[in-house]
Amino acid sequence: MAIPILNFWQDYFVKNRDEGLGSSYERVVLNQKLENICQKYNASTILEAPCFGFTGLSGINSLYLAKNGRRITLVDHDKKRISMIRKVWEEVSLPVSAISVNSYSHLPFESGSFDVSWNFSSLWFVEDLEQFLFELNRLTLRAIILCVPNRAGIGYLSQKYLGRDDLKKYLKEEHIIPANFIKHLKSLGWKLVDHDFIDAPPWPDIGMSKEKFLHKIGLDFLLSKEKTNSNSLTIMDYYNSKNPDFAQQMLSYFWFEKHAPWIIKRFWAHHRYFIFERD
């Protein structure tokens, strides 16, 4: 859950882009899932709103889709962050429409503007869940993808306890409860067609460096030599072609997510995804 990112998200833009092993792995498996979904729905126009979630460098979750030729629109509630996000996209010479809004209840786009709408670990920033989902319904033609933290995961539960004051002050946890958004989308004529756990590496979702955690429990051997011999780990090196092997390095940890039984992922996976299409 990484609630502290509420206070230091800007550090990834101005200080150090090292996202560590956890977010780096998360980026790659999310890229794979999104690409497969967009291929299935023949999607060329993508809306990511809100685009600020609980991960390292903000606003790059849809960048991989842009590299594959799709038109991306990002929406955020922080003007400063939007400006920083635009500059990051300029670094890789990819076009993006990034706008800031005062409210997610009314998004400034014509009806039916996007093939697919989605967000990652950001529903709890929406002030009115029902009205926001009505907007996604109005704007989206083919599929809506919602990714939320796994609330039964041991990492989520521990971070929820440690960050309980920030959770109550800044976030609406009820918005990430699947039953709530499934109910609203069903009433708008959307059918849940797929859902599963995602982001289930061989380490828990904890509030510390995964490298440090694996060292503490004597599992250093799970770390790739590429990581232990480098000073930082950022998917931007992959997008800038500085580290073309980045994705393959991260997928070397995918064995656990691929083979772990459902009941294990129920308490271990970091996130869940839900895919809706018009009924």
**Is 14's pLDDT higher than 70?**
yes
Q: What's the CATH number where 208 sits?
A: 3.40.50.150
Mean pLDDT of 63-68: 98
**Is 170's pLDDT higher than 90?**
no
**Is 221's pLDDT higher than 90?**
no
**Paired tokens of 80:** 């400063």
Q: β-pairing, 140-149 with 271-278?
A: antiparallel
**Is 7's pLDDT higher than 70?**
yes
What whole-number distance in Å separates Cα of residue 55 and Cα of residue 64? 16
Mean pLDDT of 9-26: 94
- What is the structure's pLDDT at 216? 54
Q: How many domains does the chain have?
A: 1
Please report which confidence band the pLDDT of residue 228 belongs to, taking 50, 70 and 90 as the band edges.
Answer: very low
Mean pLDDT of 112-116: 98
**Is 60's pLDDT higher than 90?**
yes
Please report which confidence band the pLDDT of residue 229 belongs to, taking 50, 70 and 90 as the band edges.
Answer: very low
Total Cβ atoms within 10 A of residue 73:
21
| 131-163 confidence digits (pLDDT tens) | 999 999 999 999 999 999 999 999 888 878 777
Total Cβ atoms within 10 A of residue 38:
23
Cα atoms in the Cβ-side hemisphere of radius 13 Å centred on 250: 24
More confident residue, 164 or 69: 69
What whole-number distance in Å separates Cα of residue 149 and Cα of residue 156? 7
| 90-107 confidence digits (pLDDT tens) | 999 999 999 999 999 999
- What is the structure's pLDDT at 259? 97
Question: Across the chain, what does the average pLDDT equal?
Answer: 91
Mean pLDDT of 8-22: 93
**Is 42's pLDDT higher than 70?**
yes
Domain with 200 in it: 5-278
Residue 30 dihedral angles phi and psi, to the nearest 5°: -70, -40
Please report which confidence band the pLDDT of residue 232 belongs to, taking 50, 70 and 90 as the band edges.
Answer: confident
| 176-220 confidence digits (pLDDT tens) | 999 999 999 999 999 999 999 999 999 987 654 555 555 555 656
Answer whether 155's CB lies under 8 Å from 206's CB. Answer: yes
What whole-number distance in Å separates Cα of residue 43 and Cα of residue 134? 20
- What is the structure's pLDDT at 126? 96
**Is 122's pLDDT higher than 90?**
yes
pTM to 2 decimal places: 0.91
What whole-number distance in Å separates Cα of residue 122 and Cα of residue 50? 6
Burial state string for 143-161 with b = 16 or more CB within 10 A and e = fewer than 16 = bbbbbbbbeebebbeebbe
